Amino acid sequence: MKKVSVFLMLCSVLSLQAQLRNNDVYEVTEMDNSRVRSEIHIPDIDGYKTLKCDFHIHTVFSDGKVWPDIRVAEAWQEGLDAIAITDHIEYRPNKETLKGDLNESYKIAKRAGDATGFMVIHGTEITRSKPLGHLNALFISDAMPLDVEDPLEAIEKALQQGAFIMWNHPGWPDDKSTLYPVHEELIKAGKIHGVEVFNYMEYYPVTFDWSKNNNLAFMANTDIHGLINTDYGAGNKIRPMTLVLAKERSVESIKEALFAKRSIAYFHGELAGKQEHLKALLKASVKIRIINEKRAEVTNISDITYRAVSGNNLYILPANKTVLLTIPGPETVFTVENCHTGNGEKLTVTVSDFDI
Ligand SMILES: [Zn+2]
Ligand SMILES: [Zn+2]
């Protein structure tokens, strides 16, 4: 009797799931993935929230292939916390077809973001050939005044709006990462605040040193033009992102954190950032339980697999897994191979850096 009633209950639940509308229209609710979000597990550190952001995104309002609200849906579903819409000012192949000024793509994306509680940042891309190259102005209030002949004037107009200026893809399109005098002057004057050490599918090792030596924010972004899933695919390939160490979950807080240069570039399992930030992230990701004087259980609670080397020994801490390890001496120095602090420089830690 009991079995029968459980069966009937199950049937009624199933029929409810398949008949959410009425007898004429059956909706297969399980097929709806639009309200399902993947979670990226990267822990908060040192009292800051670790926000997953993409500060370089195009739409049909410049040379992208998709409508702005799709950008929000993609990023929300993939577990990000914020995106910036950064359509080119100077290159808009669809401008005869589409209505709206230089702020339109942001406005459309912002409306979509507000509907899901997702943060959308107002940005734009100032686009010139090298030596200046491309620069994103983030946290602007109006892109229209930036539409001027002289790119240095455009930067000034953005700065007047309180913008954060990011130097985009320094190694593109000529496969040379060159720090030209114009960049040196802008950096010296505090008019470039961050640099893309990673863009789309390529990174520029020399820029790790620029960030380190000039105190620029380390950034990794997609610069996506097509669909995220078309370019990066599904499965375990994860889009590049900038991890921002923000005081709270808000656009203002992201802005404050970027100007304070609290960011880490995260791309294809690699991290680039300041030694102190990378060390704090590693410490927050790794939990150690001592079993006896020789062995410990090490749990990596993050989605980032860490690879560390000490002498001839390679230690791999797989994402979201626990491994049994022989405890090395407290002062043994490890080089964390996938944590870049400079060009050819890696994060170094000792066992005594961890809370055991
Ligand atoms: Zn560009
Ligand atoms: Zn771009």
In a domain, 97, yes or no: yes
Domain boundary among 217, 252, 273: 273
**Residues forming a β-bridge with 336:** 308, 347
In a domain, 278, yes or no: no
Alpha carbon of 189 to ligand 2 centroid (Å): 24
Alpha carbon of 129 to ligand 1 centroid (Å): 10
220 and 315 inside one domain = no
Mean pLDDT along residues 319-346? 95
Q: How confident is the model at residue 33 (pLDDT cuts 50, 70, 90)?
A: confident
Taking alpha carbons only, the member of 203, 201, 231, 195 closest to residue 64 is 231
296 and 164 inside one domain = no
- The pLDDT of residue 1 is 47
Alpha carbon of 168 to ligand 1 centroid (Å): 6
In a domain, 281, yes or no: no
How far from each other are the two terminal CA atoms of the chain, in whole angstroms? 55
Measured from the alpha carbon of residue 168, the closest ligand is 1
Alpha carbon of 296 to ligand 1 centroid (Å): 47
Alpha carbon of 213 to ligand 1 centroid (Å): 24
Task: Give the separation between CA 350 and CA 285, rounded to whole angstroms.
Answer: 15
Measured from the alpha carbon of residue 57, the closest ligand is 2
Measured from the alpha carbon of residue 58, the closest ligand is 2
Kindly report the CATH number assigned to the domain that includes residue 240.
3.20.20.140
Measured from the alpha carbon of residue 170, the closest ligand is 1
244 and 102 inside one domain = yes
Alpha carbon of 129 to ligand 2 centroid (Å): 13
- The pLDDT of residue 127 is 98
Name every residue whose Cβ is closer than 8 Å to that of residue 226 and which is 6 or more positions away in sequence.
Answer: 64, 65, 66
In a domain, 157, yes or no: yes
183 and 305 inside one domain = no
Q: What is the pLDDT of residues 50-88, one digit of tens each?
A: 999 999 999 999 999 999 999 999 999 999 999 999 999
DSSP states along 264-297: EEEETTEEES-HHHHHHHHHHHEEEEE-SSSEEE
Measured from the alpha carbon of residue 63, the closest ligand is 2
Measured from the alpha carbon of residue 223, the closest ligand is 2
Task: Give the separation between CA 287 and CA 300, rounded to whole angstroms.
Answer: 6
∠ at Cα 194 (192, 199), nearest 5°?
125
What residues have a C-beta under 5 A from ligand 1, the ion?
Answer: 134, 168
Alpha carbon of 128 to ligand 2 centroid (Å): 11
The domain of 26 spans 1-32
Alpha carbon of 281 to ligand 2 centroid (Å): 29
97 and 213 inside one domain = yes
119 and 170 inside one domain = yes
In a domain, 299, yes or no: yes
109 and 249 inside one domain = yes
137 and 26 inside one domain = no
27 and 53 inside one domain = no
Q: How confident is the model at residue 6 (pLDDT cuts 50, 70, 90)?
A: low
Q: Quote the number of domains for the chain.
A: 3
What is the CB-side half-sphere exposure of residue 262 using CA atoms within 13 A? Answer: 21
For the chain, count helices (H), then strands (E): 9, 18
Place of tokens 């043994």: 332
130 and 267 inside one domain = yes
The residue with greater pLDDT, 236 or 329, is: 329
Q: Give me the torsion for CA of 102, 103, 107, 110, rounded to 10°.
A: 110
Taking alpha carbons only, the member of 239, 293, 215 closest to residue 83 is 239
Alpha carbon of 31 to ligand 2 centroid (Å): 34
In a domain, 295, yes or no: yes
Q: Is a pLDDT exceeding 70 seen at residue 235?
A: no
Measured from the alpha carbon of residue 173, the closest ligand is 1
Alpha carbon of 192 to ligand 2 centroid (Å): 17
Contact between residue 240 and residue 267 where contact means Cβ atoms under 8 Å apart = yes
Taking alpha carbons only, the member of 303, 306, 311 closest to residue 332 is 311
325 and 262 inside one domain = no
In a domain, 324, yes or no: yes
How large a percentage of the chain has pLDDT more than 70? 94
163 and 68 inside one domain = yes
Alpha carbon of 287 to ligand 1 centroid (Å): 40
Q: What is the pLDDT of residues 248-284, one digit of tens each?
A: 999 999 999 999 999 999 999 999 999 999 999 999 9
Mean pLDDT along residues 122-126? 98
In a domain, 156, yes or no: yes
Name every residue whose Cβ is closer than 8 Å to that of residue 90 and which is 6 or more positions away in sequence.
Answer: 126, 127, 128, 147
Alpha carbon of 245 to ligand 2 centroid (Å): 24
Q: Which amino acid is at 86?
A: T
